């Protein structure tokens, strides 16, 4: 477990703490995403749709796993920062790679979706939450789905860390990542195309980050402890 009580700006670049600098990616991503949202004119956005989208009904209850994404993602950041620094690094490499490629795609081929219902089939507290969320979150820059990328990143990170390598844990994290991904199409935040393209990008990035980069290395807590002792 890393003792962050000794973390200061003066020692942020030391071997013990410099992995924290990887979190600066989120600041850069937030700025770039906001810029892309505002700079690209509406006229050049390409609507994403496939026949499967019309077969998927709106279901407000999928908004629960959709929002759980935030807990899922932040929770894995905190766990890895505290207990598995090497896995945290690979987690951030995966996120930087997939999100970086996605931002390039957004710049080259801006996309939007026009799947949101004009009126909800039911009136309850969940549909009201969804309506408020629609006002907050735009329906632009959707393919590949960042929501799906983040969910799969957490699942792969869980597979990479020693605590969650048992089959039951691996299955649970993967099932939750799939549920979060599927929730995006049921709350009409994404097309099935957005989800499938995100999964394809994740598959390629998984091989690169988790099969090629750490080749021949020990993973998880054990490796970090050995490096610390040395």
Q: How many residues does the chain have?
A: 230
Residue 214, pLDDT score: 59
Instruction: Give the H or E element holding residue 112.
Output: strand 111-112
Tell me the two tokens of residue 120: 């909800």
Q: Within 10 Å of residue 167's Cβ, how many Cβ atoms? A: 7
**Which tens digit of pLDDT belongs to each residue from 15-60?**
999 999 999 999 999 999 999 988 888 789 999 999 999 999 999 9
Lowest-confidence region among 5-9, 28-32, 145-149, 222-226: 222-226
Q: How far apart, in whole angstroms, are the C-alpha atoms of residue 190 and residue 197?
A: 11
| Residue 105 binned pLDDT confidence (cut-offs 50, 70, 90) | very high
Using DSSP's 3-state secondary structure scheme, residue 140 falls into: strand
Task: Find residue 112's DSSP bridge partners.
Answer: 47, 140
**Which tens digit of pLDDT belongs to each residue from 115-127?**
999 999 999 999 9
Burial letters 67-90, b for 16+ CB under 10 A, else e: ebbeebbeebbebbbebbbbbbbb
User: Nearest-CA neighbor of 63 among 144, 159, 137, 166?
Assistant: 137
Cβ contact 6:76 at 8 Å: no
Torsions phi, psi for 183 (to 5 deg): -60, -30
Average pLDDT over residues 77-102: 97
Percent of the chain whose predicted confidence (pLDDT) is above 90:
83
Torsions phi, psi for 212 (to 5 deg): -100, -50
Q: Which residue has the tokens 């402890």?
A: 225
Task: Find residue 46's DSSP bridge partners.
Answer: 111
Q: What is the CA radius of gyration of the chain?
A: 19
Q: What is the pTM of this model?
A: 0.91
Residue 40, pLDDT score: 87
Q: How far apart, in whole angstroms, are the C-alpha atoms of residue 201 and residue 112?
A: 19
Q: How far apart, in whole angstroms, are the C-alpha atoms of residue 189 and residue 211?
A: 32
């Amino acid at each position: 477990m890393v003792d962050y009580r000794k973390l200061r700006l003066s020692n942020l670049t030391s071997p013990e703490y410099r992995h924290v600098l990887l979190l600066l990616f989120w600041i850069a991503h937030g700025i770039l995403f906001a810029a892309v949202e505002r700079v690209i004119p509406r006229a050049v956005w390409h609507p994403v749709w496939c026949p499967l989208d019309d077969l998927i009904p709106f279901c407000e209850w999928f908004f629960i796993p959709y929002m759980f994404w935030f807990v899922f993602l932040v929770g894995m950041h905190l766990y890895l920062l505290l207990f598995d620094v090497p896995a945290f690094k690979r987690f951030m490499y995966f996120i930087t790679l997939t999100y970086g490629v996605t931002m390039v795609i957004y710049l080259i081929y801006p996309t939007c979706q026009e799947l949101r219902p004009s009126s909800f089939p039911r009136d309850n507290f969940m549909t009201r939450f969804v309506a408020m969320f629609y006002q907050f979150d735009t329906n632009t820059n959707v393919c590949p789905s960042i929501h799906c990328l983040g969910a799969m990143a957490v699942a792969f990170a869980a597979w990479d860390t020693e605590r969650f390598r048992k089959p039951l844990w691996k299955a649970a994290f993967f099932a939750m990542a799939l549920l979060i991904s599927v929730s995006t199409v049921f709350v009409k935040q994404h097309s099935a195309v957005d989800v499938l393209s995100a999964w394809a990008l994740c598959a390629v990035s998984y091989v690169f980050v988790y099969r090629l980069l750490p080749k021949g290395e020990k993973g998880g807590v054990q490796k970090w402890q050995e490096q610390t002792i040395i």
